[in-house]
Amino acid sequence: MKMQLAEIARVVQAKNDVTPWATQEIASVSFDSRTLTPGALFVPLVAAQDGHRFIESARQHGATATFWQAGHSDEPTDFPVLEVDDPLTALQQLARYYLLKVDPRVVAITGSDGKTTTKDMTAAILKKRFNVHKTQGNFNNEIGVPMTILSMETNTEVLVVEMGMDRPGQLDFLSQMVAPDVAVITMIGEAHIEFFGTRAKIADAKLEITHGLKDDGFFIYEGDEPLLHERAEQVHQQQRTFGQSETCELYPIMIESTANETRFRLNKYPDLTFSLPLLGSYNVNNAMAAIQVGALLRIKPAEMQAALAHFDLTRNRTQWVSGANGVNILSDVYNANPTAMRAVLRAFQAVPTQGRRIAVLGDMLELGDQAATLHASVAEAVDPTQLDEVYLYGDLMQALATALKAKPDYAAHVHYFPTAEKEQLSQALLADVQTGDAVLLKASNGMHLDTILRQLKD
């Protein structure tokens, strides 16, 4: 972005006179004083810590100006300041203005699982024809979406924005902010069920992504999900579906999966074999969602095929990593819910390996009163003939440990460690793994299995 301070002041309705700095040029925006670059506008958010406390750090790292909450103490007098009622609201106002100014087509993507992978696939496909900007990392909430918008180049033609949610109304707000041309829901699972109570209420909240959808826009969703199929009747915009059944507009007619690749053909393109550099047939649904977006924006099938074969995947999403002593690690440590964990387990158990298959599973968070039942439900995906050892970590995983130990002759292969015993888990696992073993790591991000990943790699 490139904007003068006077223009920003007008957009956010700054309460103070910025005339002395009116022509000061802003090239970027950040709320983290450590990531600022020269020419940046600092946004002091008030959350767990008060961002106003870091104004000196922001200045030292190159901040050119700052928002400042009106009435907040210690306002700088020797530095360009824009007084606003709330820095976060000002950030969102500025993002909406900049989005309208650049005016790209907007693809908004949400879902209980698969939204990050689908975002990466969609961006790769659209880059075959357009200048594309996409959400980086997990910048998918009320702070992250504005930051995604403000970080795009002025020549951006398509913005692919990921949207997360953990409460009703959140996607409504984000959708109204970006006014998507295309809204995508990958699937409805149990993620955040602690806050919603039922999958039906999760579906209601996910459908909010259509609230800001342009009248001539498109709604793309998993057609095999009855909860979405029912709610799609509320959406007046044009619709496209994908899924595994022939009742969907786009469905696979062939799927083959190996440890490092998933190949598939689709009913609409029967003579074209698509390839994903990913384990797991469940990723075909994510690819079909991305292909539906590509088709709407007139990307040629062969171009979509080429894009998917080599797309860049956000880190820690079902990635194979080489460990020490020839151990093969399937890292999926960023997020977890029961549906995703079962799918990854089934795919992992089908992977050929010279050694053993070992799964390290951590707690799935935000499942509320249903946590024990949902953790235990993962047992149905465990095949004792294909999974040699299971390491379970976290207090909630005790329910799965109990369910697995009930499998005939399998109790000795189940190793349970409460949350307080992470070091014991590390020691036991590192002493067990051998050359040629395949190890799956899967848990919610809050369980920090990335530390186990680093130890296996060293």
Has 51 been labeled as part of a binding site? no
Question: What class, spelled out in words, does domain 3-86 have in CATH?
Answer: alpha beta
Question: What class, spelled out in words, does domain 319-457 have in CATH?
Answer: alpha beta
Has 115 been labeled as part of a binding site? yes
Has 116 been labeled as part of a binding site? yes
As its CATH architecture, domain 103-309 has 3-Layer(aba) Sandwich (3.40)
Q: What is the pLDDT along the chain (458 residues), one digit of tens a residue?
A: 899 999 999 999 999 999 999 999 999 999 999 889 999 999 999 888 899 999 999 999 999 999 999 999 989 988 999 999 999 999 999 999 999 999 999 999 999 888 999 999 999 999 999 999 999 988 999 999 999 999 999 999 999 999 999 899 999 999 999 999 999 999 998 877 777 888 899 999 999 999 999 999 999 999 999 999 999 999 999 999 999 999 999 999 999 988 889 999 999 999 999 999 988 888 999 999 999 999 999 999 999 999 999 998 876 567 888 898 899 999 988 888 898 899 999 999 999 999 999 999 999 998 888 999 999 999 999 999 999 999 999 999 999 999 999 999 999 999 999 999 999 999 999 999 999 999 999 999 899 999 999 999 87
Has 77 been labeled as part of a binding site? no
Has 28 been labeled as part of a binding site? no
Q: What string of H, E and C letters represents the secondary structure of the chain?
A: CCEEHHHHHHHHCCCCCCHHHCCCEECEEECCHHHCCCCEEECCCECCCEHHHHHHHHHHCCEEEEEEECCCCCCCCCCCEEEECCHHHHHHHHHHHHHHHHCCEEEEEECCCCHHHHHHHHHHHHCCCCCEEECCCCCCCCCHHHHHHHCCCCCCCEEEEECCCCCCCHHHHHHHHHCCCEEEECCCCCCCHHHHCCHHHHHHHHHHHHCCCCCCCEEEEECCCHHHHHHHHHCCCEEEEECCCCCCCECEEEEEECCCCEEEEECCEEEEEEEECCCCCCHHHHHHHHHHHHHHCCCCHHHHHHHHHCCCCCCCCCEEEECHHHCEEEEECCCCCHHHHHHHHHHHHCCCCCCCEEEEEECCCCCHHHHHHHHHHHHHHCCCCCCCEEEEECHHHHHHHHHHHCCCCCHHHEEEECHHHHHHHHHHHHHHCCCCCEEEEECCHHHCCHHHHHHHHC
Has 383 been labeled as part of a binding site? no
Report domain extents, the chain.
3-86, 103-309, 319-457
Has 114 been labeled as part of a binding site? yes
Same fold, 3-86 and 103-309: no
Question: What pLDDT, on the 0 to 100 scale, is given for residue 317?
Answer: 67
Give this prediction's pTM: 0.90
